DNA sequence: TTTTGTCGGAACTAATCGTCTCGACAATCG
DNA sequence: CGATTGTCGAGACGATTAGTTCCGACAAAA
């Protein structure tokens, strides 16, 4: 567990990783229990039995903390399948992605970070790199299908990625429809039909 | 300009509609000038030369005011074309919609209302009815094409609407790509291909 | 002229993020 | 061992903001 110790001389008390873990755990629990309302840093500190200063010693801002809680909650959902067929790969990936975003803590963190990104350029940058990572995974899946000759030459990979994640974010932030597995499967089928259709 | 006067007995000073117009105008100007940061009610009141009380006499919350400024800014973009061809109707509608959302004041209002909707259920409801209206317009366009037999029986109209507005909101809120006319045209072509492709 | 409700202006409450201070404590160095 | 250094929990503090309330002035109707 102690792998990133600095190599320079270091005197004084060491940071307590247990405190950081307690903070992350409290953040996830509050995000999960939060009834649509935002989670405050004070509430996280109180729930973790920790001073606010300790939070800001580990994370530079609330958005960083929420994004960390997010990444931890979404762990294992990253890899894109590669079974050699666009339709099934896309269905598997979107189903897993929708399922991850349906987790209450993950959904709340995504929504709160997205909300803060509209005001705070720092949060906007964080969210942007997070989404870029996810885009790259899906784009890789599509590129493999294109290399196999499964896609129409008219297919626009970036637009396909926008359509997939667009539906996810749109439903997540507006809330007019749920992120069900059926919706993921239908979206995968629709995108595969579009990508393979001749212009 | 005085068309919605109450019919009941009314004593006392009348509300000054000029003040309401000044407030809306100030809100739009601040949204346009705002550098990504949010617009505060105090700033709007000061810019309009108006007391905050006057703002809250006309609008129950900041979100209502922003949504009003939004609707006023997006006026005239509502109607869906009906030229009898799915491809050109979709391209015209999405181009006009993207152009409307590219207006700085409209974009800022959309982003700020969306951000507040993640915390405030009242703002969420407002945003939901706004988006429902827009969804209905696009859905009507698709239904007319379906009635003309232009769509594959496998086409899912609501999913198509989700994809169109999904790309719009995703780009608007994440900011990884602009809402250009070229993007609108490409999206329209892609959705038309998807909707007409046989399963 | 009196009553009634809006006007601009400003003080006020409450929530929130992030900074700073405090005494206590732990780890390292001399 | 003892001094130094940096983290700990706890909380005060400044800044910002949404929304409420009070104030004296004013306008429109009774």
pLDDT of residue A15: 86
Contacts of A190 in chain B (CB under 8 A): 156, 159-160, 163, 194
pLDDT of residue B76: 63
List domains and CATH numbers for chain B.
Answer: 17-58 (1.10.10.60), 72-196 (1.10.357.10)
Nucleotide nearest to A120 (CA to C1'): C17
> CA of A48 to nearest chain B CA: how many angstroms apart?
23
pLDDT of residue B80: 84
Is pLDDT of A2 > 60? no
Contacts of B169 in chain A (CB under 8 A): 166, 169-170, 173-174
DSSP letter string, A77-140: --PPP-SS-HHHHHHHHHHHHHHHHHSHHHHHHHHHHHHHHTT-HHHHHHHHHHHHHHHHHHHH
Tokens linked to A81: 């399948």
Tell me, rounded to whole angstroms, the distance of Cα A135 from its chain centroid.
11
CA atoms of A134 and A139, how far apart (whole Å): 9
pLDDT of residue A76: 64
For residue range A9-51, list pLDDT tens digits in order. 577 788 899 999 999 999 999 999 987 778 999 999 999 999 9
User: Comparing C-alpha atoms, which of A121, A110, A152 is closest to residue B193?
Assistant: A152
Question: With an 8 Å Cβ cutoff, is B180 touching chain A?
Answer: no
pLDDT of residue A8: 43
Residue of A167, A195, A199 to mutate for B, most B C-beta atoms under 10 A: A167
Each residue's pLDDT expressed in tens, for chain B with a length of 199 residues = 333 333 345 677 888 899 999 999 999 999 999 776 789 999 999 999 999 999 999 999 999 999 999 988 777 667 888 887 999 999 999 999 999 999 999 999 999 999 999 999 999 999 999 999 999 999 999 999 999 999 999 999 999 999 999 999 999 999 999 999 999 999 999 999 999 998 7
**Residue with CA nearest C1' of nucleotide D9:** A51
**Across A115-119, A168-172, B75-79, least confident range:** B75-79
Q: Dihedral (C-alpha) B172, B173, B177, B181: value to the nearest 10 degrees?
A: -10
In angstroms and rounded to an integer, the radius of gyration of the C-alpha atoms of chain B is 20
Is pLDDT of A1 > 90? no
CA atoms of B166 and B182, how far apart (whole Å): 17
Which of B166, B186, B199 is closest, CB to CB, to A193? B199
Say which residue, A166 or B34, is predicted with more confidence: A166
pLDDT of residue A84: 79
pLDDT of residue B173: 98
pLDDT of residue B9: 57
CA atoms of B59 and A36, how far apart (whole Å): 23
Strand D atom within 7 Å of A51 CB: yes
In this structure, the number of other CB atoms found within 10 A of the CB of residue A29 comes to: 16
pLDDT band per the 50, 70, 90 thresholds, residue A147: very high
């Amino acid at each position: 567990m102690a792998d990133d110790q600095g190599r320079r001389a270091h005197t004084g008390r060491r940071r307590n990783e247990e405190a950081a873990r307690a903070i992350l755990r409290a953040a996830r629990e509050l995000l999960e229990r939060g009834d649509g309302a935002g989670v405050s840093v004070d509430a996280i500190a109180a729930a973790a039995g920790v001073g606010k200063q300790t939070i800001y010693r580990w994370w530079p801002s609330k958005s960083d903390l929420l994004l960390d809680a997010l990444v931890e909650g979404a762990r294992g959902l990253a890899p894109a399948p590669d079974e050699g067929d666009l339709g099934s790969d896309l269905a598997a990936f979107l189903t897993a992605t929708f399922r991850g975003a349906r987790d209450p803590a993950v959904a709340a963190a995504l929504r709160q970070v997205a909300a803060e990104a509209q005001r705070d350029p720092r949060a906007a940058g964080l969210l942007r790199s997070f989404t870029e990572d996810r885009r790259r995974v899906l784009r890789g899946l599509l590129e493999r299908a294109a290399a196999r000759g499964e896609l129409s030459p008219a297919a626009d990979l970036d637009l396909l990625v926008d359509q997939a994640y667009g539906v996810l974010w749109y439903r997540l932030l507006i809330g007019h429809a749920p992120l069900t597995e059926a919706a993921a499967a239908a979206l995968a089928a629709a995108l595969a039909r579009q990508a393979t259709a001749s212009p």
